[in-house]
Chains A and B, each alone.
Chain A
Amino acid sequence: MSTKSVFSTESVIEWVNQYGDELFSWALFKIGDKQSAEDLVQETFMSAVQAVTSFEGKSHPKTWLTSILNNKVIDHYRKEKKHHSQAVSLSIDQAESITDTMFDANDNWTNNGMESLWVQEENLLDNQDFNVVFDVCINDLPPAWRLSISAKYFSQKETKEICQELGITTTNYWQVIHRSKLLLKKCLEQKWFSGN
């Protein structure tokens, strides 16, 4: 059962020209720093060339390269966090334990009675201040979760492709989306609804 890969170093070199711009754009969007984005793209291709003989082409090369890049982006976030003493975003463990406390032992809501506050304000979406708070809450999400959310909303990709890029199963993906939304809810209730 040895499947010989049809891809080689030459393929990877070709992909630099074919997909380099797009990978760079995504990295820049996620990181915001040109130099780091360039470095991550270079690292992505270096990892790709080492793994190319085991790449069987089950997904599109661009999808495969994006999955490598996504791992580099998450690593980059982790390293960045180590350098800043104050953690900007939550770790996955922290985030999971927060969302767990939102439900009781039977997986039903531990009710917080804030439902009515959400519907009292009309045109919430047009409210500049609300959008600023929403931004803060998105940035509080664990980096890997933020990546899952942005893969969905910022690129019009199919769930299957996003999962391949993130290297997770669809079941896991829905759990991440679910937990991210719960965490956003919690954050908005703390930072917006309880103060207003």
Chain B
Amino acid sequence: MNFLIMSCKRATLLIEKNQLLGKLSVKQTIQLRMHTALCDACKGYKTQSQIMHKCLESHARHLHIPKDKLSEGVKETIIKALEKKH
């Protein structure tokens, strides 16, 4: 039975992994299921983590990494500096 018991810290780490990877090992899945069945705080954390996950995703959607260009002048400066080092 011992292998089924894990701490809340471990359980919440697995919740995060599962969320981003979409998979856990069979053992981890069973462990986590057992834990959240008995632990209200971790069951709650699963929901909270999902809310934060969705928030982060929507922030990412609204905040695109700009497609900027390094100006040709700066590129030239860098290349000249590199050549000098050579």
Answer yes or no: A184 CB below 8 A from chain B CBs.
yes
Which A residues are CB-close (under 8 A) to B27? none
Q: Are B60 and A153 in contact (CB under 8 A)?
A: yes
Q: Are B10 and A107 in contact (CB under 8 A)?
A: yes
Q: Given contacts A12-B82, A17-B75, is CB(A28)–CB(B66) below 8 Å?
A: yes
User: Measuring CB to CB, which residues of chain A are less than 8 angstroms from any residue of chain B?
Assistant: 9, 12-13, 16-17, 20-21, 23-26, 28-29, 38, 41-42, 45-46, 49-50, 103, 106-109, 111, 115-116, 118-119, 124-125, 131, 134-135, 138, 149-150, 152-155, 159, 174-175, 177-178, 181-182, 184-185, 188
Q: Are B60 and A181 in contact (CB under 8 A)?
A: no
Answer yes or no: B30 CB below 8 A from chain A CBs.
no
Which B residues are CB-close (under 8 A) to A124? 51
Q: Given contacts A26-B65, A107-B7, is CB(A153)–CB(B56) below 8 Å?
A: yes
Q: Are B82 and A174 in contact (CB under 8 A)?
A: no
Q: Given contacts A38-B74, A118-B47, is CB(A184)–CB(B85) below 8 Å?
A: no
Which A residues are CB-close (under 8 A) to B48? 115, 118, 185
Q: Mark B56-75, 1 if CB is under 8 A from A, else 0.
A: 11111001011111110011
Which A residues are CB-close (under 8 A) to B59? 131, 134-135, 138, 153
Q: Given contacts A107-B8, A178-B12, is CB(A13)–CB(B74) below 8 Å?
A: no
A9: contacting residue among B45, B69, B78, B86, CB under 8 A: B86
Number of inter-chain CB pairs below 8 Å: 130
Q: Are A152 and B78 in contact (CB under 8 A)?
A: no
- 5 contacting pairs across A/B (C-beta < 8 A): A9-B86, A16-B75, A108-B7, A181-B49, A181-B52
Answer yes or no: B41 CB below 8 A from chain A CBs.
yes
A46: contacting residue among B43, B55, B67, B85, CB under 8 A: B85
Which A residues are CB-close (under 8 A) to B75? 16-17, 20
Q: Given contacts A25-B65, A174-B13, is CB(A134)–CB(B55) below 8 Å?
A: yes
Q: Mark B13-35, 1 if CB is under 8 A from A, else 0.
A: 10011001100000000000000
